[in-house]
Chain A
Amino acid sequence: MSRALKLELREIDVSYGASQILFGVSIEIEKGATMALLGRNGAGKTTTFRAIAGLVAPSAGQILLNAKAINGLSPYRIARAGIGYVPEDRQVFPEHSVEDNLRIAKKPGAHRQVYWNLQRIYEVFPTLYSIRQRAAGRLSGGEQQMLVIARALMGNPELILLDEPSEGLAPIMVQQIARLLLRLREMGVTIVLAEQNLHFCQTVATHVTIIDKGQIVLRDKAENLERDAEITRRYLAV
């Protein structure tokens, strides 16, 4: 979709008040990859995403997008630099229609490129077209999840952060989201997703990073996960 992209977290620490959540987290994502950040509840996945999106400032370390530091920028500047954020609790604008939720997010990408518009969104998300006039607060969880992914795309991001897109959805909806992510991957959208669902990650991700107690414990290609079975059991089994 655009030029080469690289997101890099270098040794970032994040604390909320006195409690430190992330300890020297380093992550690299190359253009076109779909990286799953796996970990239990409370492992630090959401905090990592919030740090990338600019919602919490790292106390140490750097976040670089295409070699430029983005930590410390306001969330809107990070969004304009090309990072789309889909939070765990979706955060639709409940009283706005589906279409208005999409329109609000409309902006050109970091290099002024415009690939995504309403028409393209509706081609990829036909369900959203059929409910475009409905208030977003009245959609089902799965419909809301599609809406927020589409909303992030409307900003023509180079990379999207998806926080637990399969959480709380019926299995059939999870499959639909997985198919959608595969399609976006084919289209060249770089995706980072936080997940607890190992199977879901194996289906959609190219790379896997496991986080535990705020530290990265494994980085590998998704196809090697079987080989890392011992590690995945240790860090992901409940």
Chain B
Amino acid sequence: MNLPALLDCVSSSSCVVTQVSTGLIIGMLLFLVASGLTLIFGVLGVINFTHGSFYMLGAYFSLTAYRVTGSYFDAVIAGALGVAVFGVVFERLFISPVYNSNVLMQLLVCYAFILILDDVVKIVWGTDFQTMGMPATFALPPIHLFGGFVPPFYVFLTGLTVAAAFSLSVLVNKTRFGKLVRAAAVNRQMLSCLGVNTSLLYAAVFGLGSLLAGAAGALAAPVRSMSPEMGFSILIESFIVTVIGGMGSIIGAFFAAVLVGIIRAFGSIGYPLFTDGLMFAFMALVLLVKPTGLFGRKLA
């Protein structure tokens, strides 16, 4: 524990700005992964343990696209869409057969793919750490904000994620697609009896969740180094975010992700050896006070 360092930081505006902006981008990336996870769980009832690997694939897809095209925007699209397509194929071939199976069977399928995809990444991209570096578009001087400095890419990442969160919430709450998705979450069979192709709907939801994870990977690529194990650690953090926010709640995932991001950012100064522990402690605290998570509702 290093309380003096933490006190030093919170009394300096530049350190606060740096840590808050770092916390925000951690939170934004976590939100993108966790919202897909929570969406898939909320509708399909499947915990997609492979979700972290989708994030990893998004990062590597975008790395390759960036090296080929030199355009970071192409890289983001390649990461997001590439993983979305992969997710749909994965759902149709491997997840749809286990919808009605025991959760252990679902876990087994997902865990197998965590290992398979890690190996695929090792074969295709190698075992070494890889970096994309800051794309030329964002290689600009940092922005001066509240007495601190924020890299322009952080602003872009945060803005894009907030826009994505808003769009996702409109999609789920206001559109016909969203109404069908929420109806499928409650009673898939009845929805099917009303003429809705629920297999297609499930594949679309899984694809959307995968797209979000792929986008997160692509957005993380300029600020994170890539390695074949990167999927697993974000999976655990995303679970924590999902549990804190409330299983199935997108707005809950957003607030939980920001809180976890901030806790990590300041925790790394005050409690550098206990950052993960702080997240778990926060999760335990939330569960003690509200067992369904911040925005979770009691299951009927």
Interface residues of A, Cβ cutoff 8 Å to B: 53-55, 74-76, 78-80, 85, 87, 91, 93-96, 100, 103-105, 107, 151-152, 155
Contact = CB atoms under 8 A, between A and B. Distances in A.
A74 B189 CA distance: 10
Contacts of B176: 103-104
B182 A79 contact: no
B192 A96 contact: no
Given A96-B179, A103-B179, A104-B183, A76 B198 contact: yes
A87 B194 CA distance: 11
Contacts of A80: 195
A107 B193 CA distance: 12
Contacts of A151: 194
Given A76-B193, A79-B192, A104-B180, 8 more contacts: A75-B189, A79-B193, A85-B193, A91-B187, A93-B183, A104-B191, A104-B196, A155-B194
Given A91-B187, A93-B187, A103-B176, A75 B182 contact: no
B71 interface: no
Contact of A74 (B186, B190, B192): B192
A95 B179 CA distance: 10
B192 A76 contact: yes
User: Lowest 3 A-B CB distances belong to which pairs?
Assistant: A79-B195, A75-B192, A105-B194
A207 to B, nearest CB: 24
B179 A100 contact: yes
Interface residues of B, number: 19
Contacts of B199: 74
Interface in B81-102: none
A48 to B, nearest CB: 15
Contacts of B196: 76, 104
B186 A93 contact: yes
A96 B198 contact: no
A155 B192 contact: no
A54 B186 CA distance: 19
A84 B235 CA distance: 43
A94 B300 CA distance: 11
